[in-house]
Amino acid sequence: MQDTGAIAPEVAEAEFNRFCVANELDVDESAMDREDRKGFTQTKRKIILAMLSGSLIINDDGMPEYTPQRSKNKTPVIFREPTGAAMMAMDRSKKDEDVRKMFGTLGEMTGTDSKIFSLMHVRDLQVLLALATLFLA
């Protein structure tokens, strides 16, 4: 685990793999069609880049901890293993409120008030959404 600062690319790759194994995420690219593989590659790239910058670490439990870089609030957002409540958070919003649904889901997955996400810069949110995507895939 890297506590502060940037890490080497091979360390970031190893940490990404440790995160996936610890959370039993299905990231077998050979089982993905072209579209899924493209989406996975983009998601993985966002996560690896955040690790390379030092803004994202994988803690001792294998869970991601992201410290916002561009937003005023620098409190780390720590993911925990999603439960059914994360999925149910999507039901709390109207059919066409996709962003509200995702923020509610992120809130459940991190134990964070979903309002925090509305105040974040998009580049910080992109990392959080990439992580959520892997958990929900």
- How many structural domains comprise the chain? 1
**Residue 61 is assigned to a structural domain of this protein:** yes
In one-letter notation, the amino acid at residue 77 is V
Whole-number pLDDT of residue 94: 67
Q: What is the mean pLDDT of each run of 10 residues along the chain (137 residues)?
A: 68 97 95 96 97 97 97 95 80 74 92 94 96 92
Whole-number pLDDT of residue 3: 44
Domain limits for position 85 = 9-136
Between strands 56-58 and 77-78, the pairing is: unpaired
**Residue 51 is assigned to a structural domain of this protein:** yes
Residue 86 burial (10 A CB sphere; 0-12, 13-18, 19+): buried
**Residue 22 is assigned to a structural domain of this protein:** yes
pTM greater than 0.75 (yes/no): yes
Whole-number pLDDT of residue 95: 72
Whole-number pLDDT of residue 5: 57
Distance (Å, rounded) from C-alpha 102 to C-alpha 114? 9
